[in-house]
Amino acid sequence: MSRIRIHLPDGRIVEYPAGISLAEVAADLGLDALAAKMDGKQVDLSTRVERDCQVEFLDFSHPEGRSIYWHSSTHLMAQAVKELFPEAKLAIGPPIEDGFYYDFDIGRPFEPQDLERIEARMRELAQKDQVIERVEIPREEAYQLLASQGEKYKLELLAEIPDEKVSFYRQDGFIDMCRGPHIPRTGLIKAIKLLSTSGAYWRGDERREMLQRIYGITFPTQEELDLFLQRLEEAKKRDHRRLGRELDLFSIHEEVGPGLVLWHPKGALVRRIIEAFISEELERRGYQFVYTPHVARVRLWEISGHMSWYRENMYSGMEVDEQEYLVKPMNCPFHIMIYRSQTRSYRDLPMRLAEFGTVYRYERPGVLHGLLRVRGLTQDDAHIFCRPDQIEEEVSSLIDLAFFILGAFGFRDYHIDLSVRDPEEMERFAGSPQIWDMAERALEEVLRARGLAYQRAVGEANFYGPKIDIHLRDAIGRMWQMTTIQLDFNLPERFDLTYMGADGREHRPVMIHRAIVGSLERFLGILIEHYAGAFPTWLAPEQVRVLPITDRHLDYARQVLSRLQREGLRATVDETSERISYKVRQAQIERIPYMLVVGDREQQQGQVAVRSRSEGDLGPMDLGVFLARIKEEIEKRV
């Protein structure tokens, strides 16, 4: 019998008889796996290995393992729904960042008691430890099966699958069309909680049928579920939409349009502080700031490829002088045109162009979510034009920049993805396989040279190039995708960008797209929830509030305020006639970092009674001592 060699992520090479299943390999290696990646492609553990390959086993601690686990949980939920509501029609059931959902058509909304019944049935089915089996069915047979079940939504999806054979997954008497992969058995799903239900238009289109969506979460242990539910309650308390309203930071109005943010003075101030901090750092690192229009002729977007690859996300613009203009979804073509405005020499590179550029992208109504998912967004955008020999240094310096800026906002727990193309779906990506190989290799070499741990995210690249994505963990353990560094050989080709080399000949530059905090809207939403609205002193829109005990202390309070403002602090005086206890409580509710109480004793001694938002009463203090304390805190961005 022939033997095959399996290359493992830790560098080991193990040999087995050809035809062995990945489940048998995992068992032999003592691994508690849910699925695997074979040569970069996710597969079931039932997959048999017939040739030499690279294999990475996925468990629940791995992001892709969790995603597969939750995808299998959607099938378990769909099975429970079909058993309890046989008339239900199945739509889609993907995993999401924290759990999963499935959309059903049952002709009415689900009631709370329905969710209780479904959850109980899911537990019963899980305890049966049903084998989850992949089956491939000829296309016509798949059509007949779905038609006989009346699954009209699945039939619509089937019509878009070009393959001659279609994959389904079966557990006991339930079968669902799905690409997979899935976990081996339902018994691996131990702790189950259905979280909520809501209406959802089929395919996110408000002109289509209204379906009923059930959100759920599952874990291998009850302890993990309990911890998640605690975190969920904490997240509700930190909801940026509620805090944004209470702290008067921003608002979104139907009259203006969904997904379009109005920044109130306090929110705008926080945003300006962030922009100023980033701008100062970028200028120190050799960036030049530019401004670009909000619209451009269609021709620009045709050259860039957005009309072919991104059109569904773009807004129609207007017709001017018999020419169609579109609202910009990205800033990169404008920066390219600035580069093209004159001949560039190898001595001019790298050329780093930065812009806080506002762009507009269509998002379906069902996915809009406060500041976290909007239609009008301002990116901390930059594009670097460099020589091929400068790629490693530029990408490495961008990683340093990301760690510095994100660290200043209190984020130091990161996860890195290398987002690459899916070789089996090259129709989704612009450019030749050779260009993609070169770009992906360049980014991977930087990560390896720096010794940074990362995961390859197959199929997650942008249409024009691969990217490094840096995800950060917030105060309650949630991961957010933040920095993106994208290497692009395609757009310089499409726009025929060149520079004059030291040899006197024209050469093609490389383009790096990068955003450190992403959109300012989303970043502010994340910051509000990370800090529960209590911004650190350097970032707070109001850093100090002076609280006179009675009206006769107002003059002294104003003198204190004047000194604070001369020293560059953002401060106010509470001039209301409320009791001091009320003033303190109100300042605490508004998350003011410091309160300076002034009464007879403070006025006579030229002091202030300092109260910290986080530490409570700090006692009387000379104003100069307080100023030294707060300035040090601001300077260190504590």
Half-sphere exposure of 221 (CA within 13 A, CB side): 5
Which residue do the tokens 């030749």 mark?
A: 432
Kindly report the length of the chain: 638
Supply φ then ψ for residue 537, to 5 degrees: -55, -40
505 is written with which tokens?
A: 């000949």
Q: What b-and-e string marks burial along 598-607, b requiring 16 or more CB atoms within 10 Å of the CB?
A: bbeebbeeeb
Q: Which of 82, 165, 79 is nearest to 125 (CA)?
A: 79
Supply φ then ψ for residue 578, to 5 degrees: -70, 165
Q: Is 451 left (phi over 0), alpha (psi -120 to 50) or beta?
A: left
**Distance between CA atoms of residues 390 and 407, nearest Å:** 26
**Distance between CA atoms of residues 522 and 371, nearest Å:** 5
What is the SS3 assignment for 133?
A: strand
Q: Which of 581, 554, 497, 444 is nearest to 303 (CA)?
A: 497
Which residue do the tokens 């087995």 mark?
A: 16
Residues taking part in catalysis: 332, 361, 379, 381, 383, 467, 513
Counting runs of H as helices and runs of E as strands, what totals does the chain give?
A: 19, 35
C-alpha separations of 158 from 95, 138, 176, 179, 619 in Å: 20, 12, 12, 11, 71
**Distance between CA atoms of residues 461 and 444, nearest Å:** 13
DSSP state of 347: G
623 is written with which tokens?
A: 């104003």
Peptide bond into 433 cis (omega under 30): no
What is the SS3 assignment for 604?
A: helix
